[in-house]
Chain A
Amino acid sequence: MNVLSLTLLGVLCSSLLTGLIIFFLKEESHRLRTWLNLLGAGLKLVLVAALLRGVYLGKTYAWSFEFLPGLPLALGADANSMLFVTLSTVLWFWTTLYAVGYLEDSPHRSRFFGFFSLCVTATTGIALSANLMTFLIFYELLTVSTYPLVVHRGTRKALQGGRVYLTYTLLGGAILLLAVAWLYSLAGPVPFKERGVIQGLMVSHRRELQWLFLLFMIGIGVKAAIAPLHGWLPRAMVAPAPVSSLLHAVAVVKAGAFGIVRIVYDVYGAENAAELGVLPPLAIAAGVTIVYGSVCALFQDELKKRLAFSTVSQVSYIVLGAAILGPLAAIGGLVHLVHQGLLKITLFFGAGNYAETLGIHRVSEMNGVGRRLPLTTAAFTVAALGMIGVPPLAGYVSKWYLSKGAVTAGDHWVTVVLAASSLLNAAYFLPILYRAWFLPPPEKWPAEHSFGRWETHWMLLAAPLVTAALVIWAGVFAESAFSPLAWVKLIAAREYGP
């Protein structure tokens, strides 16, 4: 074990250990818990930055441990995993900050932050998994650690939402387990490798591989909320806002999307998958989900539900990118992994602020919030516009690459889908913005809290502002060397390069 592999473990443990310690903290030790949280998140940021630099310089990070013979638990850092791990680490830091503010004075915070840290540990683990088995392990860990967060409030609705969530994800997990076991029995241990590891089976086990792909997509598609497996997502909205952000932007949904990317690129290999003929159905499913999610979002009055269906729609962009052969689409999909995360988390932070500060839960109650919460609403607006795909914001970059990739691959219908989706996005976001900025505020907000100097608690305010800034940065400086896009191009080059 060397320093390099220690860095990997450090990334995991920075949240795992803090989480475990937090579990055993007394409810009252508020300050200690906050510091621990921020310390863990900050430490992780530093470690990931180091990792990022190392990977960029071409160092190999690997750590493995055989927990069953021939079945290593392996961590590694390749370009792909860095993309996700960086995203989740950055967002986690701000989500933590936000959550500390958001949950001030609510009960069971030790439990909450314990699971919160576990959840991020699992996400990091998913990102850093170097083989399919490790991925599976962290994937299930994610399921388990998010459940207590979803039901955190303990209300009947929360419990019901949690039950639905667990039912979906466990079913998906079981199918994924079957797929993994099956693939292992065919191919032995399955490390993640660019261009896939199944070349040897292409001739002899063609049919099995097709079935397996279906199983994988169902198993992971649950978390990625591909229609019709998305049913849990809107109901999980009962969770506190930081959790929703986590679910939608950082952890669960992203883990699903990332898993699909992994399967397509690093298990099957895009070209192998194309040859097996499994990509077009996936693309179609993604396309359908994009439109369907957007349409559903249109009819939601509850803000968080609208955002949830928006997620259903947006995540499938990533899937779509993976399902279309060619580097351009890949770039579009992968970069949207980051962009959607930034956008959606900003939106949820905003929604959380509305709920926490003014007691607003519905779109119809949002008249004039821009005047009461100008900074929050500004961040919200940036993110909403980004979602719609207004240049030069982040969303625009993803959509641009996606449609270019689709055209190159000859899938012209995709551009239609993207256009339709953008229109729909506009249709469900613009009214909100209009209400927020241009309609007069009501005489009294449903439940207003006052937080002194700022429009709301400073922690609640800092997080969306930062993420909104990131959204702008990711779009405006997309072509610079330090942007998500630049990194994604590196990945695409490795997958499709010579």
Chain B
Amino acid sequence: MSGLILGPLVAAALAFTFPKRGRGMAWAAAGVVGIAVLSLIRAVLGGGVQSHRVSGWGAPLGIDLRADGLAVLLLALTALIAVAVTGYAAPYLRAADSPEARHRERYFWPLLLFLWTALNALFLSRDLFNLYVALELLGFAAVALVALEGKGDALRAALRYLFVSLSASLFYLLGVALVYGQCATVDLALVAERAPRGPALTVALALMTGGLIAKAALFPLHFWLPPAHANAPAPVSALLSALVVKGAFYLLLRLWFEALPVFHTPAAARLFGMLGAAAILWGSINALTQSRLKLLIAYSTVAQLGYLFLVFPLMTGRDGRFGAWCGGLLLLGAHACAKTAMFLVAGNILRAAGHDRIRELAGIAQVLPVSAFALGLAGVSLVGLPPSGGFAGKWLLLSAGLREGQWWVAAVILVGSLLAAAYIMRVMTRAFAPAVPGTWVRPVPPIMEGTALALALVAVGMGLAGSWFVELLWLGGPWP
């Protein structure tokens, strides 16, 4: 567990100190984290939930780290995507040998490693305040990465993102203060033991939830996401969409199902569900009307995040509980991989064409066949066609909804899938059109295409490994 934090953190520091070694540091961190994640998966599968008391004190005085199925899943996902982005970013950043490019590469690596540290810290920690620090680390790294693009839109988007992120963190922190005032602890498990239902914790939970849904870009607090994700450099967009927003969602799960499950009432759950549904529809419809590919993908993220929040209403009953949990998280994983693949493809397209205006992208399949294939596969998972991970996740959600008699969830899932199909089709249609001469000006290195394809394949293949994920997710989940 410690390697997951120390590895990327120290690597980030070294990457900053020795700018020319940035990529090497990233690979070194990837090695450390990879070994750590694999051994952690083994440990969790073999011996159940793993805990670690940092500094040896234990809660409430100290900070506890815990790795259950959920945490391990997200850690592994993070490692996978970070490795992919590391592989992709090197040629991406070296697109041109200009001072800007050198500048970007110099700062990209430490920031990437910080982001990685923050995500790992977030997924491992069980301490509300420590999670705050991790959230801030995450937010700063994300904002700085967005701003790395350096263009006006990116800077403005980054600033807006920063404002949202910071104020959201403060809402969260005020909630933590109230929790501490009530329970005299910030450890999730102890809070769960000591939590009386009362105004203080209600308001605390509301504050924390408010902050986190802003960070998770749940409708209607999603407004910052599309510009930020669309204007960032492609590998950064991938990280943001795949992982960063998921971090906040993960924390919401921890709060509602681990720390303060007594507040998970049908009314609250329904509210989440409604917002999720609204996000799916709103995000998809907006995706349909975008003229730029990256914006389309970003709005698709808004929509796909909505699905995750359907977990809340589906977890109220007994029958669909497990299915909803696994379905939501499987969907999260599949979306992370698929979305990364899509953004990487968008990066390839941007590089090859110099722009990402959908109308003028005829002939992707002809010029960048591998990318087009990756885009299609990612789309398959996004739409939820079998046997992709997206399908497995939606299937589980759908059956949970039907089992719980929540028909509207089923309806939302289906409509969302169709809308997703519609906006994917907009792009794919262009892909198969004959290329217009003069559109495609630069070649794309094979590794950039291959990375995207690999991730798309993972997204699709995830469905086939559904049983394995479910087995993992069962460990340490919120079961009565």
- Residue positions of A touching B, CB distance < 8 A: 23, 65-69, 71, 73, 107-108, 111, 136-137, 140-141, 143-144, 147-148, 151-152, 154-156, 158-159, 162-163, 166-167, 170-171, 173-175, 177-178, 181-182, 184-185
Neighbour of A67 across the interface among B376, B380, B392, B403, CB < 8 A:
B392
Q: Report whether B402 and A182 are in contact in the complex, using a CB–CB cutoff of 8 Å.
A: yes
Q: Report whether A166 and B425 are in contact in the complex, using a CB–CB cutoff of 8 Å.
A: yes
Neighbour of A184 across the interface among B369, B385, B399, B422, CB < 8 A:
B399
CA A460 – CA B391 in complex, angstroms?
Answer: 40
CA A141 – CA B392 in complex, angstroms?
Answer: 14
**Minimum Cβ distance to chain B for residue A410 (Å):** 38
Q: Report whether B429 and A163 are in contact in the complex, using a CB–CB cutoff of 8 Å.
A: yes
Chain B interface size band reads 35 or more
Q: Report whether B386 and A140 are in contact in the complex, using a CB–CB cutoff of 8 Å.
A: yes
Question: Does residue B181 face the partner (Cβ distance < 8 Å to A)?
Answer: no
Nearest A-chain residue to B433, judged by Cβ: A154
Neighbour of B399 across the interface among A108, A137, A167, A185, CB < 8 A:
A185
Which residues, 420 to 439 on B, are CB-close (under 8 Å) to A?
421-422, 425, 428-429, 432-434
Contacts of B380 in A (CB 8 A): 144
Neighbour of A178 across the interface among B363, B398, B421, CB < 8 A:
B398
Question: Does residue B138 face the partner (Cβ distance < 8 Å to A)?
Answer: no
Interface of B is mostly: helix
Q: Report whether B466 and A68 are in contact in the complex, using a CB–CB cutoff of 8 Å.
A: yes
CA A320 – CA B90 in complex, angstroms?
Answer: 61
Q: Which listed segment binds A: B36-44, B202-210, B410-418?
A: B410-418
**Minimum Cβ distance to chain B for residue A70 (Å):** 9
Contacts of B467 in A (CB 8 A): 66-69
Known: A23-B373, A141-B386. A151 touches B396 (CB 8 A): no
**17 new A-B contacts at CB < 8 Å, known A151-B429, A159-B429, A170-B383:** A68-B467, A69-B467, A69-B470, A73-B464, A108-B365, A137-B386, A137-B387, A140-B385, A141-B387, A158-B432, A170-B418, A174-B418, A175-B414, A177-B398, A177-B414, A181-B402, A184-B399
Contacts of A175 in B (CB 8 A): 414
Neighbour of B465 across the interface among A67, A151, A159, CB < 8 A:
A67
Question: Does residue B463 face the partner (Cβ distance < 8 Å to A)?
Answer: yes
Contacts of A158 in B (CB 8 A): 432
Nearest A-chain residue to B465, judged by Cβ: A67
Q: Report whether B366 and A108 are in contact in the complex, using a CB–CB cutoff of 8 Å.
A: yes
Question: Does residue B395 face the partner (Cβ distance < 8 Å to A)?
Answer: yes
CA A485 – CA B391 in complex, angstroms?
Answer: 38
Q: Report whether B399 and A181 are in contact in the complex, using a CB–CB cutoff of 8 Å.
A: yes
Contacts of A178 in B (CB 8 A): 398, 410, 414
Nearest A-chain residue to B327, judged by Cβ: A68
Neighbour of A68 across the interface among B365, B396, B398, CB < 8 A:
B396
Q: Report whether A143 and B385 are in contact in the complex, using a CB–CB cutoff of 8 Å.
A: yes
**Minimum Cβ distance to chain A for residue B421 (Å):** 5
CA A481 – CA B402 in complex, angstroms?
Answer: 48
Q: Report whether B465 and A166 are in contact in the complex, using a CB–CB cutoff of 8 Å.
A: no
Contacts of B410 in A (CB 8 A): 178, 181
Contacts of B432 in A (CB 8 A): 148, 151-152, 154, 158-159, 162
Contacts of A111 in B (CB 8 A): 365, 369
Interface of A is mostly: helix
CA A184 – CA B386 in complex, angstroms?
Answer: 16
Contacts of A166 in B (CB 8 A): 421, 425
Known: A23-B373, A177-B414, A185-B403. A67 touches B466 (CB 8 A): yes
Contacts of B391 in A (CB 8 A): 137, 140
CA A162 – CA B426 in complex, angstroms?
Answer: 11
Q: Report whether B433 and A73 are in contact in the complex, using a CB–CB cutoff of 8 Å.
A: no
Known: A23-B373, A177-B414, A181-B410. A67 touches B387 (CB 8 A): yes
Q: Report whether B414 and A174 are in contact in the complex, using a CB–CB cutoff of 8 Å.
A: yes
- Residue positions of B touching A, CB distance < 8 A: 363, 365-366, 369, 373, 376, 380, 383, 385-387, 391-392, 395-396, 398-399, 402-403, 410, 414, 417-418, 421-422, 425, 428-429, 432-434, 463-467, 470-471
Residue among B365, B395, B433 with max Cβ neighbours from chain A (10 Å): B395
Nearest B-chain residue to A158, judged by Cβ: B432
Q: Report whether A181 and B395 are in contact in the complex, using a CB–CB cutoff of 8 Å.
A: yes
CA A185 – CA B401 in complex, angstroms?
Answer: 9
**Minimum Cβ distance to chain A for residue B319 (Å):** 9
CA A182 – CA B407 in complex, angstroms?
Answer: 10
Contacts of B425 in A (CB 8 A): 163, 166-167
**Minimum Cβ distance to chain A for residue B462 (Å):** 10
- The 6 A-B residue pairs with the shortest CB-CB distance, nearest first, are A137-B386, A68-B466, A185-B402, A181-B398, A151-B432, A140-B385
**Minimum Cβ distance to chain B for residue A316 (Å):** 26
CA A167 – CA B417 in complex, angstroms?
Answer: 12
Q: Report whether B383 and A68 are in contact in the complex, using a CB–CB cutoff of 8 Å.
A: no
Contacts of A68 in B (CB 8 A): 392, 395-396, 466-467, 470
Contacts of B365 in A (CB 8 A): 108, 111, 148
Sample (10) of A-B pairs whose CB atoms are under 8 Å apart: A66-B467, A67-B464, A73-B387, A144-B380, A144-B385, A158-B432, A167-B422, A171-B418, A173-B385, A178-B414
**Minimum Cβ distance to chain B for residue A357 (Å):** 25
**Minimum Cβ distance to chain A for residue B294 (Å):** 22
CA A155 – CA B421 in complex, angstroms?
Answer: 21
Q: Report whether A159 and B387 are in contact in the complex, using a CB–CB cutoff of 8 Å.
A: no
Nearest A-chain residue to B365, judged by Cβ: A111
**Minimum Cβ distance to chain A for residue B152 (Å):** 35
Neighbour of A136 across the interface among B363, B386, B414, CB < 8 A:
B386
Nearest A-chain residue to B384, judged by Cβ: A177
**Minimum Cβ distance to chain B for residue A233 (Å):** 19
CA A415 – CA B369 in complex, angstroms?
Answer: 52
Neighbour of B417 across the interface among A107, A174, A184, CB < 8 A:
A174
Q: Report whether A162 and B463 are in contact in the complex, using a CB–CB cutoff of 8 Å.
A: no
Q: Report whether A170 and B421 are in contact in the complex, using a CB–CB cutoff of 8 Å.
A: yes
Contacts of A71 in B (CB 8 A): 395, 466
Contacts of A136 in B (CB 8 A): 386
Nearest A-chain residue to B425, judged by Cβ: A166
Nearest A-chain residue to B320, judged by Cβ: A185
Nearest A-chain residue to B396, judged by Cβ: A68
Nearest B-chain residue to A182, judged by Cβ: B402
Nearest A-chain residue to B430, judged by Cβ: A159
**Minimum Cβ distance to chain A for residue B107 (Å):** 37
CA A185 – CA B385 in complex, angstroms?
Answer: 19
Contacts of A69 in B (CB 8 A): 466-467, 470-471
CA A71 – CA B432 in complex, angstroms?
Answer: 35
Contacts of A151 in B (CB 8 A): 429, 432
Contacts of A171 in B (CB 8 A): 418
Contacts of B399 in A (CB 8 A): 181, 184-185
**Minimum Cβ distance to chain B for residue A146 (Å):** 13
Nearest A-chain residue to B366, judged by Cβ: A108
Contacts of B392 in A (CB 8 A): 67-68
Contacts of A185 in B (CB 8 A): 399, 402-403
CA A314 – CA B421 in complex, angstroms?
Answer: 30
CA A428 – CA B399 in complex, angstroms?
Answer: 48
CA A147 – CA B427 in complex, angstroms?
Answer: 13
Q: Report whether B414 and A154 are in contact in the complex, using a CB–CB cutoff of 8 Å.
A: no
Contacts of B465 in A (CB 8 A): 67
CA A173 – CA B383 in complex, angstroms?
Answer: 11
CA A156 – CA B421 in complex, angstroms?
Answer: 20
Contacts of B369 in A (CB 8 A): 111
Nearest B-chain residue to A111, judged by Cβ: B369
Neighbour of A162 across the interface among B386, B398, B402, B429, CB < 8 A:
B429
Residue among B373, B385, B414 with max Cβ neighbours from chain A (10 Å): B385
**Minimum Cβ distance to chain B for residue A211 (Å):** 12
